Chain A
Amino acid sequence: MSHEVTTETLHGLMAEFDNPTDLVEAANRARVAGYTAMDAYTPFPIEELNDALGLKKNPLPLIVLLGGILGGLGGYMLEFWTQTIAWPMNIGGRPFHSWPHFIPVTFECTVLGASLAAFVGMLALNKLPMPYHPVFNVAAFDRASRDRFFLCIESTDPKFDRHATASFLENLRPLGVSEVAP
């Protein structure tokens, strides 16, 4: 079932499962066994993996908040500067700084800033776009976007050993274990 890669250095070892329950259990056991540098690959988000893999909370909510604040401030400053400093105009006798009129655009700019921050922040933290990644070298990995669930223990893990880790993964009763070329 396992297939050998001839190079000396590996990206890691990858076990394949056909359902999310087995994958989460495998990830839990790997974490308990002391592995830290590992990742799971699944065709849809599985919330339980966050704990199983020991993932930390991500800073995206903060990034989105900052994006929103910047957008809102930017929108308001634009209105303030153009309407009171750059070219003040008397519109129906209202004050130049008639702030209630500036709220709709400020709101829209807040949402725009926050949404752009969310999208760009997610891609940046995920280091996407990434045209090449070692996991794609595994033949069966095509099905990670379809109906298979993978657990990869990476060679950067201090506990990683080509043979010991492979037999550990085999003990988790996967469909197969593959070596991942770098």
Chain B
Amino acid sequence: MAGPQHPLQQPPDVAGAAAAREALLSRTPAVIEPGHTFGSVTDKISSIVLTHRTPVGWFLGFAVGFFFLMVLNITIMKLLFTGIGIWGNNIPVGWAFDIINFVWWIGIGHAGTLISAILLLFRQQWRTSINRFAEAMTLFAVACAAMFPLLHTGRPWLAAYWLFPYPNTMGLWPQFRSPLIWDVFAVSTYFTVSLLFWFTGLIPDLATLRDSAESKVARRIFGVLALGWRGSARHWQRYETIYLLLAGLSTPLVLSVHTVVSFDFAVSQLPGWHATIFPPYFVAGAIYSGFAMVMTLAIPMRKAFGLEGFITMRHIHNMTKIMLVTGMIVAYGYMNEVFYAWYSGSLYEGFMMTNRMTGPYALFYWSLIAINACMIQLFWFRKVRDNIGLLFVLSLLVNVGMWLERFIIIVTSLHRDFLPSSWDMYAPTRWDFGMFTGTIGLFLSLFFLFVRLLPAISIFEVRTLVPEARLKTAEHQG
């Protein structure tokens, strides 16, 4: 067997393969700091939950989140008493902030499922220490997203029979030919399946907390949540089966969710929306923005709780690379939009593009191009991928860039449509910002509570990364 082979094609335990792996490992940072044992891994991660001392930084962070959560409460109260006239929405820009923020939040959620499901199927071990909090991020982001369409109806208590097929006294049913109803099913299924996946992953760790908590109340609470899990080999076998199956089910699901979200636009006839590139372009954008959010959360978290041994530079590098790839798919989408605006020969498509580039919102358009197409090219450089502080700033900018992308898609297409007599400008009011910053507050509050009350890193999966977890000798008999 002469000549170099791809590392994945080599049979295991061959001397050459082992040497190649060593060489590869010496260049790539490890997924877990050397020297950890089953016990040290368990103690390190569970101590964040079980300690009696809450760090001051946690209180500060939670306070900021909680403040904006209260802003959200006030905004919703005002909205329910007054109506959606408090927002800047108008005709023709009827979707405005609600759908911008909805798409933005849903997109952020996608990285969580990608990490937990798709990378599991691809046997990417590095996913192990970031999947738990990325999944939590998914759940909280979807919860924030769902508030927007619900409150956009202005009367959410009536939204029940507009959105859900239940036998009501009027005998009415939702209109299943509308992508908006597909959205309801996609998002609610996505939330449910993400919750099941997340909770399934938590069960063994809740058992660990039950067994190591000192306070009686904590033992009781974790005991109830752990459902009596005892780590039996029979249980693990079934557990592993469904964990893989749930990953397999989540994979097409996550791709379908943003596809359906893009159908909200693509199925309409509006220039700038009616495009076949939308589903893949939206999915790539979702993963791109989601990884940016994972970075935004992981960088301060690993610092604050001393988790550099679990969320290593390897994770940071890999996430940066995924952002680079998906970001360039998004940039390809932008090019494609420009090309088809010209190639279609349609007056309206062409005008839509000119209006984006030179119209009243041109600054936003060029900012998003600057961030999503140009700035991400920095990720090619290892020096940038090694610079944590810079990466934090860049990941925040990506979040901004992707928000601007949704703003441009929604507002520029709506505000100057086919009839110049119906053209208008859109500007958000302070209540729009109240809703937006409010959901960020909700997200932060939930995230801070999660980090303090539940293990933010999957303990049982990190144990499998400890070298001892691999059986010694040739015991792998069939």
Contact = CB atoms under 8 A, between A and B. Distances in A.
B208 A49 contact: no
A141 to B, nearest CB: 8
B227 A130 contact: yes
Contacts of A118: 196, 242, 245-246, 249
Contacts of B177: 83, 91-92, 94, 98, 101
Contacts of A133: 228, 230
Given A21-B472, A21-B473, A104 B182 contact: yes
B106 to A, nearest CB: 14
B471 interface: yes
A179 interface: no
A13 interface: no
A158 interface: no
A128 B228 contact: yes
Contact of B471 (A21, A55, A105): A21
Contacts of B237: 45, 49-50, 55, 58
Interface in B147-193: 165, 171-177, 179, 181-182, 185-186, 189, 192-193
A131 interface: yes
Contacts, number: 205
B152 to A, nearest CB: 21
Contacts of A39: 232-234
Contacts of B192: 112, 115-116
A102 interface: yes
Given A40-B232, A118-B249, A129-B228, A58 B238 contact: yes
Contact of A111 (B212, B227, B249): B249
A101 B176 contact: yes
B389 interface: no
A116 B227 CA distance: 17
A78 B478 CA distance: 47
A122 interface: yes
Contacts of B246: 115, 118-119
B263 A61 contact: no
A89 interface: yes
B424 interface: no
A42 B245 contact: no
A147 B171 contact: no
Interface in A25-43: 25, 28, 39-43
A126 interface: yes
B183 to A, nearest CB: 9
Given A40-B233, A116-B196, A108 B185 contact: yes
B173 A82 contact: yes
Which range contains the number of A residues in contact with the other chain?
35 or more
Nearest to A136: B230
B78 interface: no
A44 interface: yes
A109 B42 contact: no
B175 A147 contact: no
B189 A112 contact: yes
Interface in A1-60: 19-21, 24-25, 28, 39-51, 53, 55, 58, 60
Contact of A115 (B208, B232, B249): B249
A42 B204 CA distance: 10
B196 A128 contact: no
A122 B238 contact: yes
Interface in B457-474: 460-461, 463-464, 468-469, 471-473
A172 interface: no
Interface in B189-242: 189, 192-193, 196-197, 199-200, 204, 207-208, 210-212, 227-242
* Residue from B37, B227, B242 with most neighbouring chain A CB atoms (10 Å): B242
Given A119-B196, A122-B200, A147-B42, A41 B232 contact: yes
Interface string B308-330: 00000000000000000000000
Interface of B: 37-39, 42, 165, 171-177, 179, 181-182, 185-186, 189, 192-193, 196-197, 199-200, 204, 207-208, 210-212, 227-242, 245-246, 249-250, 252-253, 256, 260, 263, 460-461, 463-464, 468-469, 471-473, 475-478
Q: 3 nearest interchain CB pairs?
A: A147-B38, A129-B227, A82-B173
Given A21-B473, A141-B230, 8 more contacts: A44-B204, A50-B237, A58-B238, A83-B173, A109-B185, A111-B193, A133-B230, A145-B208
